[in-house]
């Protein structure tokens, strides 16, 4: 596990998540500029303080499993990160003191989907950077 790559992944995830979520959230009331300023403020702490540690744990656990084929590894990794995004948002709800609302799906479902969305961006960026760093290492 490369901590530098994970930190770069976290930074790129904040940027890409903020761009994508801003595009999805635009409305007549608030435009892209508003959301691109607001999303990083909320996303960065969550991604760095919850997503990054969960990513390290998921990768540690996945490295314990020996996969013979790359496709099942990718499927398990994607599903694991999706679950980590869900767990991360549950942790966020507990931290902000919304314990009683955690089972209110009408309130928690949209934010939980954003957590899973951010986790999917994180894993895809991480896989891309991992492949890029491996290719660069082979060239040297």
pLDDT in tens, 42-99: 999 999 999 999 999 999 999 999 888 889 999 999 999 999 999 999 888 888 877 6
C-alpha–C-alpha distance, residues 108 and 79, integer Å: 20
pLDDT in tens, 31-47: 999 999 999 999 999 99
Q: In the predicted model, is pLDDT for residue 122 greater than 70?
A: yes
Whether residue 119 contacts residue 17, with contact meaning beta carbons closer than 8 Å, is answered with no
Q: Tally the domains of the chain.
A: 1
**Residue 20: which domain range?**
3-139
Q: Which of 39, 47, 1 is nearest to 22 (CA)?
A: 39
Instruction: Using the Cα atoms of residue 90, residue 72, residue 56 and residue 64 in order, give the sign of their dihedral.
Output: positive
């Amino acid at each position: 596990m490369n901590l530098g790559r994970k930190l770069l992944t976290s930074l790129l995830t904040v940027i890409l998540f903020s761009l994508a979520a801003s595009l999805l959230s635009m409305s007549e009331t608030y435009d892209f500029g508003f959301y691109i300023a607001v999303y990083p403020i909320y996303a960065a702490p969550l991604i760095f303080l919850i997503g990054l540690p969960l990513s390290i744990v998921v990768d540690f656990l996945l490295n314990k499993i020996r996969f013979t084929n790359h496709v099942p590894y990718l499927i398990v990794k994607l599903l694991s990160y999706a679950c980590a995004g869900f767990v991360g948002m549950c942790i966020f709800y507990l931290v902000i003191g919304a314990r009683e609302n955690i089972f209110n799906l009408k309130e928690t479902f949209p934010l939980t989907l954003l957590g899973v969305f951010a986790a999917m961006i994180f894993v895809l960026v991480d896989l891309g950077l991992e492949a890029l760093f491996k290719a660069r290492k082979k060239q040297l």
